[in-house]
Amino acid sequence: MKLKSKSLIFFSTLFGSCVLAMSTPNAIAQHAASSGAHFSGQAAYNLTAQLLQIAPKRFNGSPGHEKAEEFIKQHFTAEAAKGNFETDTFTAKTPAGLQTMHNYIVKYPGKKDGIIVLASHYETNYPLRDIEFYGANDGAATTSLLIEIGNVLRTHPPEGYSVWLVFDDGEEAVKEWTFNNGTDNTYGTRHLAAKWSNDSMLSKIKAFIVVDMVGDKDLNIDHDDNSTPWLLDLLQTAAKNTGHSSQVFKYHEPEEDDHIPFAKRGVPVLDFIDAHYGPSTDATPDGYHHTAQDTLDKVSAKSLAITGHVFLESVKQLQSK
Ligand code: ZN
């Protein structure tokens, strides 16, 4: 995501036309609620540690980037065998030239027509390739969180809408995240939003939910002013239902992240993000964000458990919409 110290834009007008048909709650919600109990923050944390060991630096075009892709793929061989693992390869035109990128889409078919998408970027920041930048929280923890969500969905498939996991590439700027409507950012999700717009998949998406930076030991999920208002309400309800109200909405601010390309195309979006990561100092106004301090010791299994439970409760709430 963009450095919060520079994020000033609002997209509030984009959401005026987002309407989702309401239907009566049903047994689906109950089933999804029980699924939440199976999510393990410790398992997500262990996966984060493994990913960081295998691929500490995952910037575009690096050996670590490829290793991270292998790491993702090897966790979804069961879905691949069923034809529910899609590799979306594309070429991105970046300030550093053409780069080949990959989004990975893992599909858990449901019984209702419609899709809930959960997304995280997996690469690390390209401009930081020459420092020891590992992105423990910025990429590794949320990639691992999605893998663990996949473990839950594999044994507890959705009975309502389908749930798709998206491991997207190229979220970070290659040179510099330019202000509003810049093209040096969110390469993977911009590509995917355009692709799904062309093949009419976009109209099936009930919500596009992004997770970013939510492994932070000192967890507080922001009220992102660029997210769709009814999804922010839903997040608040999900936090309340899981006993985590104190971990949400301490900060209200607009975030530029992987949800924006979908927001711009009228899809309801939600950014699960904790943009307040570590102490803000003169030298590092954004705390540990995009510094060599973004390491595993700043991430906790407890935070990943809270995020995972609130996340799955949000999916449960969505299933009854
Ligand atoms: Zn980042």
Q: What are the pLDDT digits (tens) for 77-90?
A: 999 999 999 999 99
> Domains of the chain: which residue ranges?
39-319
| pLDDT computed for residue 51 by the predictor | 96
Q: How confident is the model at residue 6 (pLDDT cuts 50, 70, 90)?
A: very low
CA of 123 to the centre of ligand 1 (A): 9
Locate tokens 């810049």: which residue?
A: 182
| pLDDT computed for residue 3 by the predictor | 60
| pLDDT computed for residue 27 by the predictor | 43
In the predicted model, is pLDDT for residue 31 greater than 60? no
| pLDDT computed for residue 181 by the predictor | 66
Locate tokens 């998206």: which residue?
A: 166
Tens-place pLDDT, residues 196-216: 999 989 999 999 999 999 999
Name the DSSP class of 216: B
Q: How confident is the model at residue 13 (pLDDT cuts 50, 70, 90)?
A: very low
Number of residues that make up the chain? 321
CA of 205 to the centre of ligand 1 (A): 25
Tens-place pLDDT, residues 167-183: 999 998 888 887 676 88
* CATH fold label, 39-319: Aminopeptidase (3.40.630)
CA of 289 to the centre of ligand 1 (A): 7
Tens-place pLDDT, residues 128-139: 998 999 999 999
In the predicted model, is pLDDT for residue 255 greater than 70? yes
Cβ atoms of 147 and 47 within 8 Å: the answer is: yes
Q: How confident is the model at residue 11 (pLDDT cuts 50, 70, 90)?
A: very low
Q: How confident is the model at residue 8 (pLDDT cuts 50, 70, 90)?
A: very low
Q: Contacts from 245-252 at CB under 8 Å and sequence distance 24+?
A: 247/219, 247/220, 247/221, 247/306, 247/310, 248/220, 248/221, 248/223, 248/310, 249/220, 249/221, 249/222, 249/223, 250/220, 250/222, 250/276, 251/220, 251/222, 251/223, 251/275, 251/276, 252/222, 252/223, 252/225
In the predicted model, is pLDDT for residue 229 greater than 80? yes
CA of 294 to the centre of ligand 1 (A): 10
d(CA 139, CA 145): 10
| pLDDT computed for residue 208 by the predictor | 98
CA of 53 to the centre of ligand 1 (A): 19
CA of 96 to the centre of ligand 1 (A): 18
CA of 1 to the centre of ligand 1 (A): 5
Q: What is the pTM of this model?
A: 0.89
CA of 191 to the centre of ligand 1 (A): 18
Between the CA of residue 252 and those of 4, 224, 232, 258, 294, what are the distances in Å?
11, 6, 11, 18, 23
Cβ atoms of 315 and 116 within 8 Å: the answer is: yes
CA of 34 to the centre of ligand 1 (A): 33
